[in-house]
Structure formats: structure tokens, C-alpha cells
Amino acid sequence: MPGSVTAGDSMWKVALRMGAADAALGSARWWASVQWGLGTAAAVTAAALRFSGRSAIVDDAGSVDYRTLDRGASSVAAQLRAESTRPDGSLGAVGILCRNHRWFVTALVAAERAGCDTVLLSIALPASNLAEVCERDGIAVIVADEEFAEVVAQSGTRATVLVADGSGPDALSRVAAEGSPCSPPSRRPKLVLLTSGTTGAPKSAVRTLKTTRVGGAGMLRRIPYRLGDRCFIASPLFHAWGLSQLVVGLATASTLEMRRQFRAAELGQLLCERRYDALVVVPLMLRRILDLPIEPDAVHQPRMVLSSGNVLSGDLAREWMDRFGDRLYNVYGSTETAIGTIADPADLRAAPGTVGRPPDGVTLTILDDDGMPALNGSAGWVHLASTAQFLGYTDGSDGDRAGTLMATGDIGRLDADGRLHISGRANDMIVTGGENVFPSGVEEVLGRHPSVEIAAVVGVDDPEFGQRVAAFVVPRPRRRVDADQLRAWVGENLPSFMVPRDVHFVDALPMTTTGKVVRHRLAVLGHPDRV
């Protein structure tokens, strides 16, 4: 099977794919790790020493090689360290508010070299949420694209702002060109990823750079990465999935191609014109590419198509493989647990819709409602354990743990061959286009509208996004409000992916005698106003 890797591949074979036989590369990696430790900073330096002229990033603006990326990151690191140093000598965090391009990668590497904790900010954050995250996570410097300048200004943050993609004196391009050296940091910084919150600002999950890299290493025996691959990352880099593939790509000295925004027609054309070893997507992107009028023979088939971030349905997996070949991998995990399971093409043919088996170093357990291992084939709460788990949230709270195991928030079962199948989301959480939405957060915002008496939110099946957010609203007596007004209201207070696409106006909500909404009965109510 093209590009497949069996579970029995030895780590020596994996090491050969990663360049273990290249003595010069080994020396470069050793020297880089002495300077920067184990992370993206060391990976970029090692690639610059061994493959200096190789393209590192190819984006809308063109190509940048590893030598230029390495030198530019060191110069930006010096600036970030200077801007983030507090009066007591400690370092504030660096927030990155960017789309996919070279300056996202430069800022990520630079913050690590400066010794600053890095907070990856969702581009969908409204100003109010951004202000709370900056305050809570101690962000001293924000590296932001020009298009987000207004949101940053409206947030009222006191953080210094560096423009990622501009041309002014505070633009990263000018800082990177200065060529200022940066000494190794005195501390190993942490990486903070945002999760979707139930109300207000999202939570901030803390990881170390080591655990982030360990999480990527767990995939190497199951996915056929190779040194010097050419990879197109369509998934957002500020999400855990896109970030994990960026980390793997830099560690393998690969050429990473990306665009600021996903456009199916553009990517389809690129797949016909260029040869990629890997394509990194979320399932919705697969759907959009399949909808294009492209003949399979016109496409230079990637060795591997890696999908994660949302539910990959069995029908979608089959349709993709039938059209473009058995090169599809389905990866399952979460921001908190990191990579949990991997389904390779053989798994997806044998059991479409499965998320596969855990890679080396990951323990998968299904627990019943009493916290005991579920019987074979029985559904229960999915729990994972690995050394790549997150450290906790910046507000001091933690995930749902059972000893070393951590709950993913999903209900699932194991089949006879040990493959995991996800039955549904726990706690009514909605997954729409790769984003997690908790109904209570949307309900609270809707309930604050002066014309809304009560509202309930559920997820309904959607052929493109997996699920879409649907709101059921009981208006206040003698008050008038329409769906567009409510969508605008939610959009002013929450990220765009939490705005309901369906809005149903109803006379009452179905409730139990204790006042709990019976969510499964909502689908039969009302007539939706949908966008």
C-alpha cells in the first residue's frame, strides 16, 4: 500500500527515515540542542547548518530558506526578549495572532529562543476575550497580522504590538533583517494553546516544548514521515493539529508550504501542479476538494493525507480513498491529551470512520460510568495517558483525570481488532469545523439579550462542518427580535464559530420537572432561520 507503515516497523527503520545515517546532520542536531534544548528553535538551527539553502517555508509571499529563517528568528528573539522583560527581570509571554505564513513560524521560533512562554491566539477571538487572555496569561508582546490591528486595539491590552506582515518600523520583516544575535535563554519556556471555553474567554492549556515534540514522535512509526519531505499544511497553525505538523516538519527539515487562507480551488490547482509528500487538513477541507471538478489522474498524489481536528466520517474517508487512493490517515486527540490514536489507510478500509489505535507511548482505556474498564465492545468514556499530556490550565484548573489517565470528553468503544470508534461528544459539546463549542456559553450570551427569555443550543448534523450550532429561542412577551440580530449579538461577544447558523423561535423549551432542557427533543421544534 502506498506510503503505509506497519505497526511492526522498528525504531531503527524510523531513525533511518529521520536521517540517523547522516553524520553531518547528527552533529548539527547535537550542536543545536546544546544551544536551544529540544524544540523548534533547535530544529531550525540544525536544518540551517545542514541544509542551509533548502526552502523552509513557502507561503503567499514566496519562499524563505532555513538559513534566512534561522537568522531572522534570532534577530526577532532579541527584540522579543527586550520588549517582554519586566522591571523585576522576568519575561512576559508572547502572543501570536497570525494566519499561516512565515512570520507565524518566525515568531514561534523566536519566542522560544527568547525564553518567553508563547500563547497561540485564535484569529476568531473577539476583543473582549483577547483582553481577558492577555491579562490572565501575562502577555507582554503580541505579534499580530495587520488585519487584526483593530481587534487588538479594541481589546485595550497594554501589550506591545509587533506587526507580523507589515512594512512599518515595528514589522517583523524589518526586525528580522537587522541580524541581531540572541544568546540562549536562561529558562525553557512553555507553550500555551487555547481551548474553547464554556463562557467568556477560552481556557489556556499549558504544554512544554518537550511534550509537544514527544507527541509528534509518537506518530513516527505509524505515519511515513521522511527527512526533507515537502508538506502542505492547510490546517491553522494556531490549533494543536496544525502546530503538531509544523513541529514534525521542522524536525525533519522539510519544506512546509502554506497559505494565509484555505481556498479549495487554489489547493486543488496546486495538487495538480506540484508534488507534495504530505497534505495536512481537517475533514471539511477534504470535502471541499472532493467537490472540485478534478480528475484523479491530474493530481500528483501525496504520499500521505493527514486529517484531524474534527470527525472524519466513514463515507468521507471511503469517497476520498476511492477517488485519490489509499493514502489517508485519521488522527485523533485533543489539546490536553495530544495524539491519542491513528487510523492508517488499512484501518479506514476495514472499519471506515474509525480513529484507529494508539501509537507507541500512549495508553487508551474506555471507562464505564463507575470508572471501571468497560467490557469489550461496550461504549464508555475515552481516556488516554502519555508523557505528552498537558500540564494544566493557566487558571490553575486541570483536566478530568483518573490517575495517569485523562478523559478526552468523548464517548467511544473498541472493536474486536482494538480500533477506537467515537460514538459522540460528552457533555453536549458541539464540534463544528474543528472548533469545540459548549452550548452553555452561547446560551448565556443569548440569554443576556433584552428580547430573549430563554435559549438552548445544540449541535445538529452538517454535511460540511460535521456539526453546526443551532439555537432554540423563546422571545420575551411583546418583544421583537430576528435571527440576524441574535447572530450579531453573539458575534460581538464570542468567536465567530460559536455563532448559531440555525435559529429557531419557539413558544417554550421541553424541560424535565427539575427544569433541565431535554435537548434531544429540540430538533422537532420550530422552523429555523438558517445561514
CB 182 within 8 A of CB 77: yes
Task: Please determine, for residue 5, whether its predicted confidence score (pLDDT) is greater than 50.
Answer: no
**Average pLDDT value for residue range 290-309:** 93
Lowest mean pLDDT among 119-123, 173-177, 198-202, 434-438: 198-202
Greater pLDDT, 35 or 219: 35
Task: Please determine, for residue 509, whether its predicted confidence score (pLDDT) is greater than 80.
Answer: yes
Helices in 252-406 by DSSP H: which ranges? 264-273, 283-290, 314-324, 345-350
* C-alpha 368 chain-centroid distance: 29
Residue 515 binned pLDDT confidence (cut-offs 50, 70, 90): low
Task: Identify the residue whose cell numbers are 500521505.
Answer: 304
Greater pLDDT, 328 or 175: 328
- Element at 43 (helix H, strand E): helix 40-50
CA distance 357 to 342: 5
pLDDT in tens, 188-202: 899 999 985 434 568
Which residue type occupies 151?
Answer: V
Task: Identify the residue whose cell numbers are 526552502.
Answer: 55
CA distance 508 to 510: 7
CA distance 411 to 285: 25
CA distance 217 to 245: 11
Angle at 163 between CA 435 and CA 142, to 5 degrees: 60
CB 442 within 8 A of CB 200: no
pLDDT in tens, 335-390: 898 899 999 999 999 999 899 999 988 999 999 888 889 887 888 899 999 888 89
Task: Please determine, for residue 531, whether its predicted confidence score (pLDDT) is greater than 60.
Answer: no
pLDDT in tens, 41-73: 999 999 999 999 999 999 999 999 999 999 999
CA distance to 19, 68, 93, 190, per residue, from 115 (Å): 28, 21, 9, 9
Residue 427 binned pLDDT confidence (cut-offs 50, 70, 90): low
CB 329 within 8 A of CB 306: yes
Which residue type occupies 461?
Answer: D
* C-alpha 146 chain-centroid distance: 22
| % of residues, the chain, pLDDT over 70 | 92
CA distance 20 to 11: 11
- At CB < 8 A and 24+ separation, what contacts does 526-530 make? 526/472, 528/470, 528/502, 528/503, 528/504, 529/482, 529/483, 529/502, 529/503, 529/504, 529/505, 530/501, 530/502, 530/503
pLDDT in tens, 250-287: 999 999 999 999 999 999 999 999 999 999 999 889 98
What is the pLDDT at residue 210? 66
CA distance 516 to 487: 24
Instruction: State how beta strands 118-120 and 255-257 pair.
Output: unpaired
What is the pLDDT at residue 317? 94
**Mean pLDDT for all residues in the chain:** 89
CB 431 within 8 A of CB 425: yes
CA distance 59 to 473: 44
What is the pLDDT at residue 167? 79
Q: If DSSP codes are grouped into helix, strand and coil, which group holds residue 218?
A: coil
Q: If DSSP codes are grouped into helix, strand and coil, which group holds residue 291?
A: coil
Which residue type occupies 478?
Answer: R
| Residue of 100, 29, 387, 203 whose CA lies nearest to 108 | 100
For the sheet with 466-475, list strands across it. 452-462, 466-475, 502-505, 528-530
Domains (range + CATH), the chain: 64-208 (3.40.50.980), 430-530 (3.30.300.30)
What is the pLDDT at residue 512? 53
pLDDT in tens, 160-172: 999 999 877 778 9
CA distance 312 to 434: 10
Q: What does the block give as the cell for 218?
A: 509518537
**Average pLDDT value for residue range 462-484:** 91
